Structure 1
Amino acid sequence: MRTLLIETSTSEGAVGLAAGTRLVARKQLSQARRHARDLIPAIGQLLDEAGWAPRSIELVIVDRGPGSYTGLRVGIMTAKTFCYATGAMLVGGCAADILAHAASDDALSVATLIDAQKGNIYARHFTRTGAGEPLEPTSELAVVDAKEWLATLPEGTLVTGPALDRFADVVPATLRTTEEGRRYPELSSLLGIGRSSCDAGRRDDPWGLEPTYLRPSEAEERWRQRHGADAS
């Protein structure tokens, strides 16, 4: 199955192509968050270099967040438009699940951190029963205070995610952290999560898929403060 992968939830955006379960091409996007300018040309370049026609893509997997508001909107709209135009299937992957998927097989407890601004994080905790077993979430994805939530995690938990770059100084010494360079969503993990969902028959409606935000954007919060919570 030929698959297009779209990852725009952070500043470390990327697009890729996969044949079956194998990643065959990838292209990094600008770190300046210029996803709208870079995304479509990057996809076109990847397809041209691979010699793949757009309609040969059978599945599109996109990170649906949470993460960068602008990046998610651009990535998901691009994925939906591509599927509508080509007839490809669509799967949206949760950013927390994608991050956890990349954790080492011997990590029995994994926590994912995504920056939610104002000292908060989008957080989720996972555990597995033994080395090599699948990770299962023990909590719903939620917006929490970073320092308070980290203090509740079991000793030895592996902490990962892009918010580590900001909150490393409040991670308790009883926890482990992933090394720098491995804290952002990876295309290989996006592929693994998306293929598992697709193979299980869990696919998304190109008309209905929306980003996972959990909280208003800063622009929306400023508007509400200025006009009142009940203003329309």
Structure 2
Amino acid sequence: MLLLALDTATPAVTVALHDGTSVIASSSQVDARRHGELLLPAVDRVLTEAGLGLDAVTGIVVGVGPGPYTGLRVGLMTADTFGLALGVPVHGVCTLDALAYAVDDTGLEGPFVVATDARRKEVYWARYADRRTRLSEPAVDRPAEIDPSVTALPAVGGGALLYPDIFTDARAPENVSAAALASLAAERLAAGEEPEPARPLYLRRPDAQVPKNYKVVTPK
């Protein structure tokens, strides 16, 4: 098994290779405006670090969000392209699940909440019993509108860190890592779990909209 994992649902452009046992190479850069520019060089970098070619990959893992429309689709379209070109399966993983899985490095056990920046003064969030068990479906809300019993829990992710007056026990990790994404996917596949479809969790419409009531110009 050689999984190529990537995620662009947060400001991080993150890529990793997992051989079914451990992560063998990874790269993460934080730049919310350059997902499309940074992703393919990051893929090349981790392959070079591992001394492998793209044709060695047996599966693609991609973070499906939730995340802002523009950044999220960069990762999903790239994953789909790789999957088609290589003839290998593409596995989706909720980005919030990968962030939750990474709390093992911090000693946090649970329960806790994961919250990422959704812009528009909102966060994408979900509640977890532990690093592997999500208790609620991903949602998007203004932090002040989330039940206080949730926001009082320990919280990880950039969304929680942005609103420390609401998430009073906010902590790292801030952004998702493809290393955690790949490790979670490998664990699920080894356990025989059915992978999530590689479909985006947008949760709301994109910022760019077709103008309403625009004037139609017809030739004379």
Q: For the superposition of Structure 1 and Structure 2, which TM-score range results when normalised by the shorter chain?
A: 0.7 to 0.9
Taking a change above 3 Å as real, the CA distance of residues 154 and 33 of structure 1, as seen in their structure-2 partners, is: closer
Q: Give the equivalent residue in structure 2 for 1:159.
A: 155
| Identical-pair percentage | 28
Matched, 1:107 2:100: no
Taking a change above 3 Å as real, the CA distance of residues 203 and 49 of structure 1, as seen in their structure-2 partners, is: same
- Partner Cα distance (2:22, 2:91) in 1: 17
Contact 1:103 1:110 in 2 (8 A): no
- Partner Cα distance (2:5, 2:59) in 1: 9
Q: Give the equivalent residue in structure 2 for 1:66.
A: 66
Structure 1 segments, 4+ long, off by >4 Å, are none
- Equivalent residue runs for 1:1-232 within 5 Å: 1-29=1-29, 31-104=31-104, 106-128=108-130, 135-149=132-146, 151-153=148-150, 157-172=153-168, 176-179=169-172, 182-199=173-190, 200-203=192-195, 209-220=198-209, 223=210, 226-227=212-213
CA distances 1:88-122 after superposition (whole Å, capped 9, x unpaired): 22111101111111224552211011222333221
TM-score between both structures, scaled by the size of structure 1: 0.80
Look up the equivalent residue of 1:63 and give its one-letter code: G
SS at match of 2:103: coil
- Partner Cα distance (1:103, 1:49) in 2: 26
- Partner Cα distance (2:19, 2:86) in 1: 17
CA distances 1:162-221 after superposition (whole Å, capped 9, x unpaired): 11232122224xxx2214xx221122320122113333242366xxx321101011213x
With a CA cutoff of 8 Å and minimum separation of 6, indicate the structure with the bigger relative contact order: 2
In the TM superposition, what is the alpha-carbon distance from 1:4 to its structure 2 partner?
0.8
Contact 1:55 1:87 in 2 (8 A): no
The aligned length equals 211
Contact 1:150 1:171 in 2 (8 A): no
In the TM superposition, what is the alpha-carbon distance from 1:150 to its structure 2 partner?
5.1
Structure 1 regions of 5+ residues with no counterpart? Answer: 129-133
Taking a change above 3 Å as real, the CA distance of residues 33 and 119 of structure 1, as seen in their structure-2 partners, is: closer
- Partner Cα distance (2:30, 2:110) in 1: 34
Look up the equivalent residue of 1:108 and give its one-letter code: G
In the TM superposition, what is the alpha-carbon distance from 1:41 to its structure 2 partner?
2.7
CA distances 1:4-58 after superposition (whole Å, capped 9, x unpaired): 1112112221112122231111223462531212222321233234231222101
TM-score between both structures, scaled by the size of structure 2: 0.84
- Partner Cα distance (1:87, 1:201) in 2: 21
In the TM superposition, what is the alpha-carbon distance from 1:78 to its structure 2 partner?
0.7
Look up the equivalent residue of 1:125 and give its one-letter code: R
RMSD: 2.4
